[in-house]
């Protein structure tokens, strides 16, 4: 079971943003910028391009809904989209609010983000879904 499957199962806490029968969205615990959200399929697949076409299309549509809510909740120019997958072997899309290119710099993460702020951001995004 991957760490993201444990989060989806509720065995590990997360700042949940959205969920449906196939996907789960939650705040990245070490955000590159405030509001940094991960979109994950409930099905355990490591590499995103191993996901079958229909499921991958649904994942992008789910990510679009989350990104639309993020853009309403968080002042930003756009929501940036990245896929890395080098750390956690469970496919996920990174959604990051952007004012400038440097806001998507994975070398500079926010250390020990304030839990109350994270909770509020997750609630604000969820309220805009």
Kindly name the residue from 90, 92, 94, 108 that is annotated as catalytic: 92
Interior/surface letters 94-128, b for 16+ CB within 10 angstroms, e for the rest: bbbbbeeeebbeeeeebeebeeeebeebbebbbee
Find the binder of ligand 5GP among 19, 29, 124, 126 (CB under 6 A): 29
State yes or no: is 90 an active-site residue: no
Tokens describing residue 121:
């951001």
Is 13 among the residues that bind ligand 5GP (CB under 6 A)? no
Of residues 77-116, those binding ligand 5GP (CB under 6 A) = 84-88
Residues near ligand 5GP (CB under 6 A) are: 3, 12, 14, 26-30, 84-88
């Amino acid at each position: 079971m991957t760490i993201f499957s444990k989060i989806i199962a509720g065995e590990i806490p997360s700042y949940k943003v959205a969920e449906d029968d196939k996907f789960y969205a939650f705040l990245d615990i070490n955000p590159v910028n405030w509001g940094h959200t991960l979109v994950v399929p409930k099905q355990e697949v490591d590499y995103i391009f191993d996901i079958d076409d229909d499921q991958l299309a649904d994942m992008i549509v789910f990510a679009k809904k989350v990104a639309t809510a993020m853009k309403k909740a968080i002042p930003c120019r756009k929501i940036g989209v990245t896929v890395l997958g080098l750390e956690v072997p469970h496919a996920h899309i990174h959604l990051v609010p952007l004012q400038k290119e440097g806001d998507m710099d994975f070398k500079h993460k926010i250390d020990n983000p304030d839990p109350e702020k994270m909770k509020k951001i997750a609630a604000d995004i969820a309220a805009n879904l």
